[in-house]
Structure 1
Amino acid sequence: MSKRLLIIGFVWPEPTSSAAGSRMMQLIEVFQSNDYSITFASTCAKKDNAFDLSSLGIKQVSIELNNSSFDEFIKELNPEIVVFDRFMVEEQFGWRVAEQCPDALRVLDTEDLHCLRKGREQALKHQSVFDKFYLFNDVSKREIASIYRCDLSLIISEEEIEILKNQFKVSNHLLYYLPFLTEPLSAEAKKRLPKIKEREHFISIGNFLHAPNYDAVLFLKDKIWPIIREKLPEVELHVYGAYATEKVSQLNDKKEGFIIKGFAEDVSSVMKNAKVCLAPLRFGAGLKGKLIDAMTNGTPCVMTSIAAEGMFGGFEPNGFIADEAHEFANKAIELYTDKIFWNGKQKNGFLVMNARFDKQLFVSDFIYKINAIQNNLKAHRLDNFTGQMLHHHTMQSTKFMSKWIEEKNKNN
């Protein structure tokens, strides 16, 4: 008999729009291949780019915030596992899950550490060095509390595992490293990719609703691209991303070769025809889906240290890492024009993909971990006193606020 899994999504997954959407689809595939019957629920309205989960046999349910109808829904479903897509979802629904289905395993998929991204953004705005003052922000207090309230949190980056353990002192038994889960790259697939002489132009890609991506485009436009364009006057930069607003479109400058392309229907197609990918992220967290797409399609990159974080482990990157605008631009020119460098960096990317992100390296151990915790759930929770404390009624501000809103809505 299939085991029941409920995923509560912050949004409906959009794998063609964001790395977060791709990540969610990878998790869904893992659970489906291990005989889980999946229900996906969200309070968010579906957008045009949302994946049709019903095509995979997944039940899709719209749920409401601050409404006890969710209690009835989850009690009837009675799932063995509930996955919260980001900490904000756990804040809203975690207490309801704990009350209605106390024996369900509660799993938080962090996507990335929002508090880390927020702290870095604030440090950049203040032109300050990122330190504990910025890391220990208000989002941190909420996010770390959410991690403690759950039985297991999925962390996409080894760097973030270390931050949680060393800076926030979170116990290792509450954390599980689960990066992007990709298909292995075969020798035949590599051979089919366009060679350097068949490619042209630079590419940058990223969902424009994500603040680090918009900042990166501004950094490219103002500081980096003018230097590249001066040395390579015939070359263009093609900027792709879902949800390009009017202010993004206004950055389009055909005369200078800075072309806003907007949404990419097929990321692989545009990536494999580009010669070099640029990822000048100045703040952010997690793993960068754009680098996964670049390595999969054999496109070397120039990236900042923020973009490279957690990607390569002990392996050489698929390009150059530079944070200062002039160095970044010069490395981009070098990679674009030097065939030997280019071929070597491409091979690095192939090696990284198969050594660090092949799903076969992770899936069996992940399912074993899930089953082990389920089979010893009471003992597992006894080792998490902080989590028990945060479930105590005196700490349940989100719960009582939700109940107050629900009663208020009844009287309107």
Structure 2
Amino acid sequence: MGELDPDLVVFDRFLAEEAYASRVREIKPSAMRVLDMQDMHSLRRHRETNPFPSIPSPSTSTSLVRELASINRSDLSIVCSSVEKALLEMEYKIPGEKLQMGSFFTSPIDKGYDNNHSFNQRKDFISIGGFKHPPNVDSAVWLVEDIWPRISKKIPDAVLNIYGAYPTRKISSLHSPSDNVHVHGFVPSLEEPFLKSRVLLAPLRFGAGVKGKIIDAFRFGCPVVTTKIGSEGIGKENEGWGGAVTSNIDCAEEFADAAVALYNDRDRYESSRASARKILVREFDKTRNLDAIVEAIQGTYEDLERCRERDVFGNILWHSSNRATEYFSRYIELKEKNRREEVDQT
């Protein structure tokens, strides 16, 4: 970093901020430090072992304490979900001026909504997700083992196509053509699978953030059946949703019934597609969302000294007696230096 002179540094998730923020502050203290949260990691981890809608507590979750500390040390944090932004402000008392919404930047794909890709031109179900992500593994296994038999019983000719990079042995073992289940693994583009599929199934039982698979489905005019966790941060229940959201995140029968109803009912299907398009335009417009982030960054940067002066918790965490992350940062830097030297010697 000695050769660089940044005015702004973005940390990709709180682990990067922990590792490098103190060095940034030491070398270029005037540089604005922005944390890109991606999703709220501590919330996702909490939900793996705790029932929805409980939330992690600072008294029991080390991960939460670390994440909140990272947010407080940063000048601005980009949050992808409106639900998580509200949680950080209301429950964990993060000042609103330190948080900026930065969700997906996208728009509907026109041909996903044309007459060549409407109800009658589509068939079968699709499920997608990278399988290095635990919520996606759990979702696929639950879908095939408990939900799909119920769907298949009512729609015997329907096929379930599962896509996603890095399929584990368990995921690959779900492939069963005799049961109309096909595990395809990675595909370079999801355009064709989405355009020919009638419904995306996303039975997520834990996780956080805004789910990219659902946004992608909406872009290509493919309605979605998911859980409250899957729909979190996407639309509002009283304004119409792009498919169906189950009330019980652990009920296979409710999920299957919702999937069958959406798959078979043309009017419900087309209404859901219209709602999906409205959600994309209203909440994920590329120009509007990017402009809001740029404006927030510029506003903080231009008033950075005053923002830091009134940032009580940030100043407390940066006090010399509370800077344990500095030593971690130095360790990371030394480790990387040694690794580079070893590579050069070989």
Normalised by the length of structure 1, the TM-score is 0.77
Work out whether 1:315 is the aligned partner of 2:242.
Answer: no
SS of 2:35's equivalent in the other structure is strand
Aligned to 2:85: 161
Give the counterpart letter for 2:310 in structure 1: D
**Partner of 2:153 in structure 1?**
230
Q: Of residues 329, 343, 349 in structure 1, which corresponds to 2:270?
A: 343
Which of 172, 175, 180 does residue 99 from structure 2 map onto?
175
Residue 398 of structure 1 deviates from its aligned partner by 2.8
In the TM superposition, 1:13-412 aligns within 5 A as 74-124=1-51, 130-133=54-57, 137-183=61-107, 190-191=113-114, 194-313=117-236, 315-322=239-246, 323=249, 324-403=251-330
Q: Does the Cα contact within 8 Å between 1:165 and 1:172 map onto a contact in 2?
A: yes
CA drift of 1:207 comes to 0.6
Q: 1:182 Cα shift?
A: 0.9
Segments of 5+ residues of structure 2 without an aligned counterpart are: none
| Shift in Å, 1:175 | 0.4
Q: Which moved more, 1:140-149 or 1:115-124?
A: 115-124
Distance 1:396 1:193 in 2: 59
Note the C-alpha offset of 1:97. 0.7
Q: How far apart are 1:405 and its partner, in Å?
A: 6.8
Change (3 A) 1:165 1:179: same
- Please list the CA deviations of residues 260-317 of structure 1 after superposition, one character each: whole Å capped at 9, or x if unmatched: 1111211122111101000100000000111111111111111100000110035311
Relative CO higher for 1 or 2, CA cutoff 8 Å, sep ≥ 6?
Answer: 2
Q: Name the stretch that deviates more: 207-216 or 247-256.
A: 247-256
Residues 189, 218 of structure 1: alpha-carbon distance in 2 compared, 3 angstrom cutoff: closer
Q: Distance in 2 between matches of 1:104 and 1:212?
A: 36
Letter in 2 for 1:148: N
Distance in 2 separating the partners of 1:86 and 1:346: 33
Q: Distance in 2 between matches of 1:359 and 1:156?
A: 14
Deviation larger for 381-390 or 87-96? 381-390
- How far apart are residue 215 of structure 1 and its match? 0.6
Q: 1:123·1:134 contact (CA, 8 Å) conserved in 2?
A: no
Residues 130-139 or 311-320, more deviating: 130-139
Asked if the contact 1:120/1:134 (under 8 Å) is kept, the reply is no
How well do the aligned residues superpose, as a CA RMSD in angstroms? Answer: 2.2
Shift in Å at residue 344 of structure 1? 0.9
SS where residue 317 of structure 1 aligns?
A: coil
Q: Secondary structure at the match of 1:76?
A: coil
Please state whether the residue corresponding to 1:89 is helix, strand or coil. helix
Aligned residues: 335
Separation in 1, partners of 2:215, 2:189:
14
Q: CA deviation at 1:130?
A: 2.4
Distance 2:164 2:293 in 1: 32
Query: Aligned letter for 1:356?
Result: E
Q: SS at 2:306's partner residue?
A: helix
SS of the aligned residue for 2:84 comes to helix
Q: Residues 407 and 103 (structure 1 numbering): CA distance in 2 closer, same or farther, change over 3 Å?
A: closer
Aligned AA (1:104): A
Instruction: Work out the CA distance in 2 between the residues paired with 1:134 and 1:294.
Output: 36
| CA gap 1:287/1:79 in 2 versus in 1, 3 angstroms | same
Maintained 8 Å contact 1:119/1:134: no
How far has the Cα of 1:185 moved from its partner?
A: 5.2
The answer as to whether partners of 1:276 and 1:336 remain within 8 angstroms in 2 is yes
User: Would you say the 8 A contact 2:123–2:198 is kept in 1?
Assistant: yes
Kindly indicate whether the alpha-carbon contact (under 8 Å) linking 2:218 and 2:273 is maintained by their aligned counterparts in 1: yes
Instruction: Return the alpha-carbon distance in structure 1 between the equivalents of residues 86 and 293 of structure 2.
Output: 19
Greater Cα shift, 357-366 or 297-306: 357-366
Cα offset, 1:114, TM superposition? 0.2
Tell me the amino acid that sits aligned with residue 176 of structure 1: Q
Instruction: State, as a whole percentage, how many aligned pairs show the same letter.
Output: 35
